[in-house]
Chains A and B, each alone.
Chain A
Amino acid sequence: MTWALLIEQILNGVQLGVMLFLTAAGLTLVFGVMGLINLAHGSLYMTGAFVCAWVAGSTGSFWLGLGAGALAAAAAGAVVEVAVLRRLYDRDHLDQVLATFALILVFSEGARWIFGPQPLWLDTPEALSGAVSLPGGAAYPVYRLAIIGAGIGAALLLWALISRTRLGMRIRAGESDREMIGALGVDIRTLYTAVFALGAGLAGFAGAMVGALQSVQVGMGEPVLILAFVVIVIGGIGSVKGAFVGALLVGVTDTMGRVLLPMAFAGLLPPSEASGVGAALASMLIYVLMAGVLVWRPQGLFPANG
């Protein structure tokens, strides 16, 4: 394997990682603050992608689409929180699972109804359409580098928001003691809606950016949702830092496994079998990673509360 390929794959892994972080951050915040498991988080990711593709398609501006996608996902999140999820905070996880599973069905069918059964396509913006050359000679798309940059930027903003602002202080208070923030006179309902909308907006932002790399279609959210769960289990529930580390770990492991494992088996097996066996094992790699973390540290790498 050449250096160029290695660097390219690491960058691909990091790019997948930051996307996963943007999705997982909202999930883990919502769980940490409200104690809610939200299966429909992937639907908000999908909402961001659809709205972005649609707005960009009708206005011709990717940037308008990107903003509209993130805002639409945040708005959809706020509506869902107020209309449905608010009633589920005191219920057990089973009710939350079923209700948010129902929301997935509603979102998916709703998207199919509004945007039609065909996938939408989203072009990368012209300003980011080129490639840069990497050391070693390979070219790497600027757009993917921009995603990495945007993801890291969003992570920094989120970190600043949580550690430096009043909203962040309330979020942290909510994580450690729900009754206390009620006693502090914080309007808990508004706080919850805001946290939910924030998480939804991040997922929508991620979905909108990824929309230019793959087709935008119903069902695109769930594989990301499940990867985000793996990220959270690895990082520790409720920990944004854990989500960041976990996301990069999962992104790089998954990407590298898909390249390296078939190559490794090529030395052992006939080529036709090697690619199959390698690909099958590579698809299991991150789950093996998760199992390893569970054995080593059942509460994840960065347990949020002790």
Chain B
Amino acid sequence: MAERRELLASLLLLVALAGVALWADAAGEPYYVNLASRVAILGLAGVGLNLALGFGGMVSFGHAAFFGLGGYACGIIAWHAGNYEPVLTWPFEVEGTDRMPPIWGVAALVCGAAAAAIGALSLRTSGVYFIMITLAFAQMIYWFAISWPAYGGEDGLSIYVRNGFPGLDSYDPLSFFAIAFGALLVALAVSGRLLGARFGAALTMARLNPVRLATAGIDPFPVRLTGFVISAVITGWAGAIYADLNGFVSPSMLSWHQSGELIVFVILGGVGRLAGPVAGAAAYVALETFVGGATERWPLILGLALLGVVLFARGGIMGALAGKARHD
């Protein structure tokens, strides 16, 4: 019952998002189409984080690392393609590309490898240690991006020609929205599927009761690490698409503030709700656009609103829409 209500609320939310994009496109308002793309991409990043944070109980304050690495993978490969310089000359030559699918593949590989290394170290600990360590490693990558001069350093890297997608004109705002929205749907379907699978059962128990998981004959560490890597890959995918949306990637995508925002999407939407981050990202972008447009004190209002949500309205937007979460 509660589950059907959540499914219904999630579907309505996605339909509304697509509806906004279609309406804005018909009304000749590309600004709002791009806003909808932004919601879809940030929602996608949040869906990735939610897998670790909401379902696996791993409170990562460093997911901006993966968001930014995905963004830089996109920016760097496109930069090489634009300058006709190979990305690698050794041990074999790799050319840059201006197509999204191979760029996404590289972003996924890079983020997966980074998450495997960071996860292997931070998952030796738990609780508050885990929060601080993920934050610290993300900061390490942030400082590296700032001080490494080859790809723009502090100034960031522009993507002069938006990368293409087979069969679509990626410069058309609605087509770009379709790409982002499609990625979001794929991530939601994949997450939903694997959470219902054996792996999801193990990951859920790793959050609820790791002692029980081990006693049932399943070692929590590899389960958590796998969940962390999948989560990072999805967030990195979002980062790669976000770089194309903005035509720009900079260290701010790697910053602790970005990590905090990703957590905000997840919690604002409702922890452990599959589509929660999309609701959270939508609310965040809408507030930022309309309140931020009206007053420059918008961070103050956001901060107070977040405090209100944490102290008094736990459960987030999906909690309000779909009632209390229940497991069967």
- A contacts B directly (C-beta below 8 A): yes
Q: Is A166 an interface residue (CB 8 A)?
A: no
Tally of chain B residues near chain A (CB < 8 A): 45
Name the one of A87, A101, A287 contacting B136, with C-beta atoms under 8 angstroms: A287
Complex: A110 Cα to B307 Cα, angstroms:
15
Complex: A174 Cα to B147 Cα, angstroms:
43
Q: Mark B103-135, 1 if CB is under 8 A from A, else 0.
A: 000000000000000000110110111011101
Q: Is B31 an interface residue (CB 8 A)?
A: no
Q: Interface of chain A, helix or strand or loop or mixed?
A: helix
Complex: A298 Cα to B125 Cα, angstroms:
7
Complex: A98 Cα to B270 Cα, angstroms:
13
A223 to chain B, nearest CB (A): 8
Q: Is B11 an interface residue (CB 8 A)?
A: no
Which A residues lie within 8 Å of B305 (CB)? 102
The reply to whether B147 and A280 form a contact with Cβ atoms under 8 Å apart is: yes
Which B residues lie within 8 Å of A268 (CB)? none
Q: Mark A87-102, 1 if CB is under 8 A from B, else 0.
A: 1100001110111011
Closest A residue to B260 by CB, please name it: A101
Closest B residue to A287 by CB, please name it: B140
B249 to chain A, nearest CB (A): 17
Which residues in chain B, 241-272, are within 8 Å of chain A measured between CB atoms? Answer: 256-257, 260, 263-264, 267, 271
Name the one of A108, A226, A237 contacting B299, with C-beta atoms under 8 angstroms: A108
Closest B residue to A92 by CB, please name it: B59
The reply to whether B267 and A283 form a contact with Cβ atoms under 8 Å apart is: no
Q: Is B291 an interface residue (CB 8 A)?
A: no
Name the one of B129, B139, B147, B299 contacting A233, with C-beta atoms under 8 angstroms: B129
The reply to whether A95 and B310 form a contact with Cβ atoms under 8 Å apart is: yes
The reply to whether A280 and B144 form a contact with Cβ atoms under 8 Å apart is: yes
Complex: A288 Cα to B144 Cα, angstroms:
12
The reply to whether A94 and B121 form a contact with Cβ atoms under 8 Å apart is: no
Interface centre among B124, B147, B256, B264 (most CB of A within 10 A): B147
B101 to chain A, nearest CB (A): 30
Q: Is B303 an interface residue (CB 8 A)?
A: yes
Closest B residue to A87 by CB, please name it: B311
Chain A residues proximal to chain B, CB less than 8 Å: 31, 37, 39, 84, 87-88, 93-95, 97-99, 101-106, 108-110, 113, 222, 226, 229-230, 232-233, 237, 276, 279-280, 282-284, 287-288, 290-291, 294-295, 298-299
Closest 7 CB pairs of A and B: A105-B303, A102-B306, A287-B140, A283-B143, A109-B300, A106-B303, A229-B132
